[in-house]
Chains A and B, each alone.
Chain A
Amino acid sequence: MKKMSRSPHLLIESRFFAASIVIVIAALILWLRLWQLQIYRGDYYRRISENNRVRKIDVPAPRGILYDAWGKIILGNTATSELIVVPQYMKNQEKTFDVLARLLHQPGDLFKRKYKRAKSLPKFMPITMMRNLSLHEVSIIESNRLFLPGVEVRTTARREYNTGTSPHTLGHLGELSPSAMEEFNAKNKNNPYSIGDLVGRSGLEARLEQYLRGQHGYTLIQVDAFGRASNPTEHEWDLPLEAAKPGSNVQLTIDLELQETVSKAFSGKNGAVVVMDPNTGGILALTSLPSWDPYMYQRGLSPEEFRAMTLDPLHPFMDKTTSGEFAPGSTYKALVALAALQDGIITPNRSYICNGSFSLGSQAFGCWKKGGHGTVSLHRALMQSCDVYFYHVGIELGVDRIAKYARDFGLGSKLGLEINMERPGLVPTQEWKKSTHKELWAAGETPSVAIGQGYNLMTPLQLAALYSAIATRGKVWKPYIVKRISTPAGITLDERTPTLVRTIDSVSLENFELVRSGLEAVVMDDEGTGKNARVPGVRVAGKTGSVQVVNLKKNKNQSDVSILWKEHALFASFAPVENPEVVVVIISEHDDKGGGGASAAPVAGQILRSYFDLKKRRAGLAIGAAVTPIPTSQEGAEHD
């Protein structure tokens, strides 16, 4: 017993030493691990911990605003709520999306599809799931927020359209797809897009995308482990903030008030209207019908609706002002007359006899007036749009010489308005026929070309440019719609001045005058085909046109045939004749009200009347006095 108490140790003495070693080694291993985590990889983990607590919230920039020439807002922004999810904070994605779809009455896979598209994004990046939430939808989400971790509603801007303006011109926005985004971002390294961003897909929104989009800002907020924003004053976190830079504002040449009149006057018809300033090429109004609801894309378009619209034979998605190609019909006669006068084929006094038809070899070409016009000279041929006169002229002139003058006026090539895939139109020549159709030009095809039918194709914009050149006696201006681009602070980034493309010197001023007086007679003369376009107190010149879409039997009643087979009604005009300041071109497709004179001219008349009313009103406002209506001048009666 004693021995035991002195040396109680059945315990092995040396084990104490070993135990000390073991303890030191164990502590050392743990300590080295600490060193590895805290010192060696400390920066890495510090960064992760920052990412952990800090969430970057994208602040979308409001897009730039489009103003009209007078400073009225054509396309602005208004506040809207959108549904976003932050994947990092979602607990059960499948379930969350199912609940969301049920709450918002959306198809079950809508959210999952959108979510999948944004898979590559960092987990803290919000994904837009639904835009333009109604107040009801917002309250539904907010009240169920507890069960929807990672789901948020944020306020953002959406486009607000002026419905009087053609949506084709303004264009629409669409979400950027991941594949398109790479392409976009390759060009925009400094200001990249993120998935779900809206970009201009058509019209001015697309063309001016780089100006309108602005620059995303962001705020950094601190969140706790459950994604709840924590109070930053609680601890001293200073987080940077980058405000969104709104897009640049754009002033257009469009006159909104006139545009609204145009839309009203043209409503119910299909086709296009172009109103242009012949002295600058500035576009005052553009309309293309049938059209679409500009809010359609904000609401979301079902595949069925979209298919129905693309299959619509009247092509609602097409901007007919620039990409619709039509045969110019009788409006082309002005050009043919200029060519024939200049080349000495005709003189103002040379006349042809119209007995209602014209035969060339075995072919017979009819005049629109079956009884014939009798003896017609240039003035009456234009005024009454005699086809037989122009068959004769066309044959003598030949297709190539018509084409030469057409090209001088800028036809057959793009004018450079640069919105919505402008089309070049077509000016047929013998060469063209040979190369395209591998056939020789047939003499019988020339009379059709001379009255603007056959292979001829022009866009409404080209027709406006043609009549601008006639109105200004040979000045071809490049059409433009964007006047000025300026930053929100008002600093001008780009100012477009009118560009004179060329002055047509191949046609003499006398010949221009001869044709212009013929065109004036179309409207001002009581026998003229376009007298429906008259405006009290203003000398208006114009030319009607009716284009057969299919060859109908002569006496077949137009009202019997399908709308798609009906004639196009055209009217091209400018006013006032003495010093033209506005060109109005109407192309009414498949018009069932009649030809150019009956159907298109009254629309042009309304537009012109509105233009001059506006002008008077603005002049009155400018001098700040009560405006008494300017007495109607009697000049217009001269041509009787």
Chain B
Amino acid sequence: MIDSRDQMVGVGAMAHAPVLLVPGQAIREPTLIWSKILMTVLFLLISIGMTNLYSAAAGTSLFWSQLKNLALACVGFYVCGWIISPRFYNSYAYWIYGAVCAQLVLVDIIGGISMGAQRWLKVGPIVFQPSELAKIAVSIIVAKYFYTSRLSQPYTLRDLLPLSLIIGVAFLLIFAQPDLGTAGVCALIMTCQLCFIRINGRSLAIAATGGLTVVLGAWFFILRDYQKLRVLNLINPDMDSSNTGYNALQSFIAIGSGKFLGKGFMAGTQTQLQFLPARHTDFIFAVFSEEHGFLGTSVVFILFVTLIYMGLAIAKNGKDVFASLLAVGMTGIIFVSFAINTAMVLGLFPVVGVPLPFFSYGGTAMIVFCAAMGILVSIERESLDLFRKVSPFQRKSANSRSSKQRS
């Protein structure tokens, strides 16, 4: 009891000050403290996000269909958090990755076309975007790679070569759709994970140079015209208000005109009069900013930052390299999506198709974000040895097996 009170103090301090002081205190007691805060924040974010989507959808059926997606996402959250142990991903990492890659191939071949890109896969009544699943699959495979090839000295490029080859498959498949946004997000999630790995300095320099070459090469030889335009829009959104820069400009107007308190729920003129493009998907943050102002956006920022900190705390207390790296990956999904989406809406980043977690309309994305949160919960639960089984398919108790390993 005393311990738990201490924890409460820690939580209280965390609400004000950066969490980074707290994660160090490893919590051994079987109290899902980080997960509880995470779930609270998640609940708030989803509530705000759904309310906002209701306004953005403005009477269309989008809200109701997203509500169904949310129900599925909740199931996903529970399954990932309480039924499937992180060990399951560890064991079946390559199978999972292979399955997602197979889906990506299918998308490239028979996928539905939307906005000039093939992104959808339709199985019966279910329509989903495998590229969203790829975010989790990539995180798993990176975690698995560093779990299996542990080195005492810093990793060099040669050590990382097999990983880049494995990841490259998914990356190219997504890029071919083309879905620049998701490809970039996958790369960034992987980068987040690599940040926690000791990498050889020389190798890093070479990789940086190579990366730059790839970026420049992509600009001149690979990127399609509309993708380049999006990047150019960033530089000057007023360039042509009726075409490419229109979205960004209308987004500024929507956000700016919200001022401090916003125009009120369902009363954003930019949104309700449809000046704002993609208002229920990529630009949904502008809807929220317009209707709830600086005050509302600040609250949402705090919630997101808190959520990310919870993810980091869980990562730090991960049971093993795999769990920690996977937690970093899951946190990275939220962080990268949040940062890129808001930066894009705020005109600090090119317009790429990255959804805002828990806000943007989209079934697969919602499920993937919730599943990622579930995985974070499962990692904390694993670190507290709360899993009896690796997965419902296994007879053996996961705990007993791990305790065997430990002893």
Residues of A within 8 A of B (CB): 1-2, 4-5, 8-13, 15-21, 23-24, 26-27, 29-31, 33-35, 37-39, 41-46, 48-50, 52-53, 222-226, 230, 235
Residue numbers in B under 8 Å from A1 (CB-CB): 405-406
Residue numbers in A under 8 Å from B150 (CB-CB): 4, 10
Measured in the bound complex, the distance between the Cα atoms of B276 and A50 in whole Å is 14
Are B257 and A15 in contact, with the CB atoms below 8 A?
A: no
Measured in the bound complex, the distance between the Cα atoms of B289 and A224 in whole Å is 19
Measured in the bound complex, the distance between the Cα atoms of B324 and A449 in whole Å is 120
Q: A26-B339, A224-B274, A226-B274 are in contact. Are A46 and B195 (CB under 8 A)?
A: no
Give B272 Cβ to nearest chain A Cβ, in Å.
7
Interface assignment of B63: CB less than 8 Å from any CB of chain A: no
Interface positions of B from 174 to 217, Cβ below 8 Å from A: 192, 195-198
Are B318 and A8 in contact, with the CB atoms below 8 A?
A: yes
Q: A5-B320, A16-B23, A33-B348 are in contact. Are A42 and B312 (CB under 8 A)?
A: no
Shortest Cβ distance from A91 into B: residue: B242
Interface assignment of B369: CB less than 8 Å from any CB of chain A: no
Q: Given known contacts A16-B23, A38-B256, A235-B269, what 5 new A-B pairs fall within 8 Å (CB)?
A: A5-B319, A20-B309, A34-B289, A37-B252, A235-B272
Are B301 and A30 in contact, with the CB atoms below 8 A?
A: yes
Residue numbers in A under 8 Å from B289 (CB-CB): 34, 37-38
Shortest Cβ distance from A42 into B: residue: B259
Contact with A20, one of B20, B270, B319, B328 (Cβ below 8 angstroms): B20
Q: A11-B325, A20-B309, A42-B257 are in contact. Are A225 and B275 (CB under 8 A)?
A: yes
Complex A-B: 15 CB contacts under 8 Å:
A1-B406, A2-B406, A8-B319, A11-B321, A11-B328, A15-B196, A19-B192, A20-B312, A27-B305, A27-B339, A31-B301, A39-B259, A45-B252, A49-B290, A226-B274
Contact with A34, one of B255, B273, B324 (Cβ below 8 angstroms): B255
Residue numbers in A under 8 Å from B335 (CB-CB): 23, 26
Q: A10-B197, A30-B339, A34-B294 are in contact. Are A45 and B346 (CB under 8 A)?
A: no
Residue numbers in A under 8 Å from B347 (CB-CB): 33
Main secondary structure of the interface of A (DSSP, over half): helix
Are A8 and B253 in contact, with the CB atoms below 8 A?
A: no
Are B256 and A24 in contact, with the CB atoms below 8 A?
A: no
Interface assignment of B343: CB less than 8 Å from any CB of chain A: yes
Residue numbers in B under 8 Å from A24 (CB-CB): 18, 305
Are B312 and A16 in contact, with the CB atoms below 8 A?
A: yes
Residue numbers in A under 8 Å from B267 (CB-CB): 235
Interface assignment of B258: CB less than 8 Å from any CB of chain A: yes
Residue numbers in A under 8 Å from B142 (CB-CB): none
Residue numbers in B under 8 Å from A44 (CB-CB): 256
Are A15 and B272 in contact, with the CB atoms below 8 A?
A: no
Shortest Cβ distance from A8 into B: residue: B320
Contact with B269, one of A26, A31, A43, A53 (Cβ below 8 angstroms): A53
Interface code B1-27, partner A: CB below 8 Å = 1, 0 otherwise? 000000000000000001110010000
Contact with A230, one of B20, B257, B273 (Cβ below 8 angstroms): B273
Contact with A48, one of B146, B257, B272 (Cβ below 8 angstroms): B257
Residue numbers in B under 8 Å from A11 (CB-CB): 196-197, 315, 321, 324-325, 328
Are A38 and B321 in contact, with the CB atoms below 8 A?
A: no
Interface positions of B from 244 to 270, Cβ below 8 Å from A: 250, 252-260, 266-267, 269-270
Give B108 Cβ to nearest chain A Cβ, in Å.
33
Residues of B within 8 A of A (CB): 18-20, 23, 146, 150, 192, 195-198, 250, 252-260, 266-267, 269-270, 272-276, 289-290, 293-294, 297-298, 301, 304-305, 308-309, 312, 315-316, 318-321, 323-325, 328, 335, 339, 342-343, 346-348, 405-406
Q: A38-B294, A43-B259, A222-B273 are in contact. Are A52 and B18 (CB under 8 A)?
A: no
Residue numbers in B under 8 Å from A49 (CB-CB): 253-254, 256-257, 269-270, 275, 290
Q: A8-B318, A52-B275 are in contact. Are A30 and B343 (CB under 8 A)?
A: yes
Max chain B C-beta neighbours (<10 A), residue from A10, A20, A27, A48: A10
Give B186 Cβ to nearest chain A Cβ, in Å.
19
Give A633 Cβ to nearest chain B Cβ, in Å.
81
Contact with A23, one of B198, B309, B315, B325 (Cβ below 8 angstroms): B309
Are A8 and B294 in contact, with the CB atoms below 8 A?
A: no
Measured in the bound complex, the distance between the Cα atoms of B192 and A50 in whole Å is 42
Give B322 Cβ to nearest chain A Cβ, in Å.
8
Max chain A C-beta neighbours (<10 A), residue from B23, B257, B258, B323: B257
Are A10 and B146 in contact, with the CB atoms below 8 A?
A: yes
Shortest Cβ distance from A16 into B: residue: B316
Give B395 Cβ to nearest chain A Cβ, in Å.
23
Q: A34-B294, A222-B273 are in contact. Are A19 and B321 (CB under 8 A)?
A: no
Shortest Cβ distance from B18 into A: residue: A20
Are A37 and B406 in contact, with the CB atoms below 8 A?
A: no
Are A10 and B260 in contact, with the CB atoms below 8 A?
A: no
6 tightest CB-CB pairs across the interface, nearest first?
A45-B256, A20-B20, A49-B257, A42-B259, A224-B273, A8-B320
Q: A37-B346, A224-B275 are in contact. Are A46 and B259 (CB under 8 A)?
A: yes
